[in-house]
Structure 1
Amino acid sequence: MQIKRRHLLAGAGAMALSTASGARADDVLQQIFNTRSRSAWNDQFDGRYSAGQTVQTNQPIFSPATLGYVQQAISDYQMIEASGGWPVVPSTTKLELGVVDPAVGPLRRRLMISGDLDRNAGMSNAFDSYVNTAIKRFQTRHGLPSDGVVGEYTFKMMNVPVSTRLMQLRTNLVRLETMANSFLGERYVIVNIPAAEIEAVENGRVVQRHTAIVGKVSRQTPILNSKINQIIINPYWNAPESIIRKDIVPLMQKDPNYLNENAIRIYKHGDLENEIDPRSIDWHDPATPDYVGKLRFRQDPGKINAMASVKINFPNKHAVYMHDTPQQGLFNQLMRFESSGCVRVQNVRDLVVWLMRDTPGWDRRSIESQIKTGESVPVELSQPVPNYFTYISAWSTGRGAVHFRDDIYGRDGSTDLQLSSAY
């Protein structure tokens, strides 16, 4: 069921009015803090700690512990909703350390209710070190840069009503239940699409986390289960037909040297002996996309190769894979939905070393040496590693440590969770 933005804003406005007076705000907070289920939360607070548990853990997203914490989070958020929710924080000005502004009061109440700021921090209009630490925690829980500055993106995340977050938690609980109690393997890899993050899990613990670039809305990364069975060092890149039609043809119309400058060669499928000269093709002919879409566009290995140093293969009907990238700056972006469906992996060589650990003759030193040669070498893994592409936009790593991400592909049932549409 879709929740209309105007209904949410109306509800949010009502919540803001209900907490306008200090007495009412204190009543709401007192109800929440006095609830038995919250009594176990740590009430001690200083400039380093917030009310709930730590946000970063080595707990896999698919684990019985995560499932239990999400169930508890649903109970906590039901109680928050029943107590009047949290106030809307006015987004009229940027809030940061040292600022004194009337909006800091609602900000403090908002952070206390969600468990990011301890109630012993007190109420005032001053953005002090307590609030700064709490904001960083809130930002980490929401996949935002933890800079302690309340700007546009933090305001958007903060002002999603508790009723919408509760719905998001329930939706994701169903997804988690299908996997969290299953045996996924002693070693496995999880790609969480909304979080644009990868977990390498071993013996029930996350041993590596990697930032990822996943598919844009128009070319979505699919949900899948498979096994990583091959690593290609210094891979050739074969452009998918969709990229040939949608990207390469328009680029060649603008710049006839594009293919040569990017070391991309054209062949007929099954014939790598006879290269086709790009100058023999009329790139402006309306029939060209249909013609070249049937050809093979292969990029030579090298630093400008679309997959850079390594490609991680696994059988799947979508023809997607994981890989390195020469565009390392993309990993610093807030919204990392830039690919055509495949997954780019930051610090991918660390992941490759872990994947190839049981394959004789391949360790970090030999992998790095092979990369330096520039020669393309496929390596079959002695022990294929299960991998899972999943869509989890809300989960929890502990009491009061609930994570939310942008519902980038619009699968959670409310357009108000597709916050990137407004970025």
Structure 2
Amino acid sequence: MSNTTGIVGISRRALLMGAASVGAAAIAGQAAAQTALDEIISAPRRGNWDDQFDAQVSRVASAVLSNTPMLDANNLFNMQQAIAQYQMIVANGGWPMVQPAAALRIGANDPVIPALRQRLMISGDLGREAGMSTAFDSYVEGAIKRFQARHGLPEDGVLGEFTVKALNVSADVRLNQLNTNLVRLQSMSGDLGRRYVVVNIPAAYIEAVENNRVVLRNTAVVGRIDRQSPVLNSKIYQVILNPYWTAPRSIIQKDIMPLMRKDPTYLTRNAIRLFDGNGNEVAPETVDWNAEKAPNLMFRQDPGKINAMSSTKIDFHNEHAVYMHDTPQQGLFNKLMRFESSGCVRVQNVRDLVTWLLKETPGWSRQEIERVIASRVNNPVKLAEEVPVYFTYITAWSARDNIVQFRDDIYQKDGDAQLALQTNIGVEPIVGSLEEDLLPQ
């Protein structure tokens, strides 16, 4: 799957010539043939970091985003250009490793910075005019922010652990990643619909697309590696305001049973009630929580602020019984590693997405949505027209010319272990979590 040859459907020679003609100056700096590197290295040294300030450099990360949908068919050409560019980088020896002794930021002076500059020049994040020096100046900070934006990292301009790991993924591995994802994008290049939603699992974000333009982007929390969010195509048919949450059997067995052994008040504190097959409520104290198997009962949480889905659930048909929803734990969206659910997808600013989904359903203005949510009364709303939804696994794409985005291969599907950067960091697993949000314990 990660083979670097035979995947691109057009002539390599044509691609190389096209890439060269479109961006000859950029490629000369990015591909960095040895003569070009010599020229860069011998450029006049600058003085202190603060006499190189360029306001445009500090804003360069904002240019990474695009209103073009990730799955737009035109992006296939951008990907093919990127593959040609990375082939040239690999052919010219790739880029150097960067091994700082500690995190570096603007104002630092360190012997590793010339290698960092060279690395960023080759990938096109740093212009040649920045020259070579040991100073971590505004040029380097702007280039680091651009690199971080392209790799889904916090744009703090600091050379920290995750940024270093992403920098040190070799060019040939990135080339393989591009080829792997070109195949995935080609499989999604048909007519996706006038309005549709894309969940990119490794990027942990959501695009709402209308008339071939991204109208909303929402940060997401997706499934962790042992409870993965599935790749699927479906249609959103319903939004539930103030939903009940019904615990899946697997969650009852794996999570709720052990929690009830430790704390018999857990269900009551979390407004979770038990019902038998006839709809009769069952008292928790009548259940043997030490039994090997969970009781054959429905575990249902009432609507409210502590509900696992909080204000909203977004339903679509699928065999995996997953859905999208709100969460009472909004702080999760601020985390770098947003792979913490049991397969469903938590949506930041979900009410914006719901307003967009229901805008063609009569009677459901933003004001009415907010009014119903405030009532705390369960209210399912059928969409007037179902909206396609696509759960995808895309770890590399290019929605703008010469701007390539990479993401962590969190589920290790790209064929190279070093691409699962966050998995390799040694992150502690979440303990005692329920589907879908972590309820108070």
Counterpart code for 1:199: E
Kept after mapping to 1: 8 A contact 2:83/2:175 = yes
> Is the Cα–Cα contact under 8 Å of residues 69 and 398 in structure 1 kept in the other structure?
yes
Match of 1:408 in 2: 410
Tell me by how many angstroms 1:30 deviates: 6.6
After TM superposition, what 4+ stretches of structure 1 lie above 6 angstroms from structure 2?
Answer: 50-53
Deviations 1:41-95 (A, max 9, x none): xxxx944249999211101011122111111000000000001100001131211
What CA distance in whole angstroms lies between the structure 1 residues aligned with 2:243 and 2:387?
Answer: 20
- Which position in structure 2 is the counterpart of 1:259? 267
1:375-390 to structure 2, matched below 5 A, reads 375-390=377-392
3-state DSSP of counterpart to 1:230: strand
Is 1:284 aligned to 2:290, yes or no? yes
Equivalent residue for 1:329? 331
Q: Secondary structure of the equivalent of 2:63?
A: coil
Cα separation, 1, equivalents of 2:117 and 2:82: 21
Q: What is the match of residue 39 of structure 1? A: none
**Contact 2:78 2:398 (C-alpha < 8 Å) held by counterparts:** yes
Question: Which amino acid is the alignment partner of residue 385 of structure 1?
Answer: V
What SS does structure 1 have at the residue aligned with 2:255? helix
Give 1:355's aligned residue. Answer: 357
> C-alpha displacement at 1:420, in angstroms?
1.3
Query: Deviations for 1:182-218, whole angstroms, at most 9, x for unmatched residues?
Result: 1111000000000001000000000000000000111
Output the amino acid matched with 1:202. Answer: E
1:240 paired to 2:248: yes
- 2:181 corresponding residue in structure 1: 172
Gap regions ≥5 residues in structure 1: 4-23, 33-44
Match of 1:188 in 2: 196
Q: Does 1:208 align with 2:210?
A: no
Q: Helix, strand or coil for the counterpart of 2:422?
A: helix
Separation (CA, whole Å) in 1 of partners of 2:38 and 2:241: 59
In structure 1, how many angstroms separate the alpha carbons of the residues matched to 2:166 and 2:135?
21
Decide whether aligned partners of structure 1 residues 146 and 200 sit closer, same or farther in structure 2, where only a CA change above 3 A counts: same
How far apart are 1:25 and its partner, in Å?
8.4
**Gaps spanning 5+ residues in structure 2: where?**
4-31, 41-52, 426-441
Identity %: 60
Which residue is equivalent to 1:161?
A: 170
TM-score (norm 1): 0.88
Distance 1:145 1:215 in 2: 21
CA offsets, 1:347-371, max 9 Å, x none? 0000000000011111100000000
Aligned length: 384
- Alpha-carbon offset, residue 26 of structure 1: 5.8
- Alpha carbons 1:53, 1:398 under 8 Å: kept: no
Give, in whole Å, the separation in 2 of the partners of 1:106 and 1:212.
35
Partner of residue 235, structure 2: 227
Distance 1:350 1:2, change over 3 A: closer
In structure 2, the partner of 1:340 is 342
Correspondences of 1:9-48 after superposition (within 5 Å): 27=35, 29=37, 46-48=54-56
Instruction: Give deviations 1:232-288, integer Å, cap 9, x for gaps.
Output: 00000001111111111111111110000000011123x33x211111112123x2x
Compared CA separation, residues 86 and 243, structure 1 to 2 (3 A): same
In the superposition, the TM-score normalised over structure 2's length comes to 0.84
Greater RCO, CA 8 A, separation 6+ = 1
Match for 2:147: what amino acid? F
Alignment correspondent of 1:130: 139
Other-structure match for 2:72: 63
Cα contact 2:209–2:215 (8 A) shared by 1: yes
Contact 2:121 2:128 in 1 (8 A): yes
Q: Aligned to 1:167, what secondary structure does the other structure show?
A: helix
Contact kept, 8 Å, 2:2 with 2:179, in 1: the verdict is no
Q: Quote the Cα distance in structure 2 between the aligned partners of 1:347 and 1:58.
A: 19
The answer as to 2:89 corresponding to 1:77 is no
Contact 1:52–1:115 (CA<8 Å) still a contact in 2?
A: no
**Equivalents in 1 of 2:36, 2:414: separation in Å?**
28
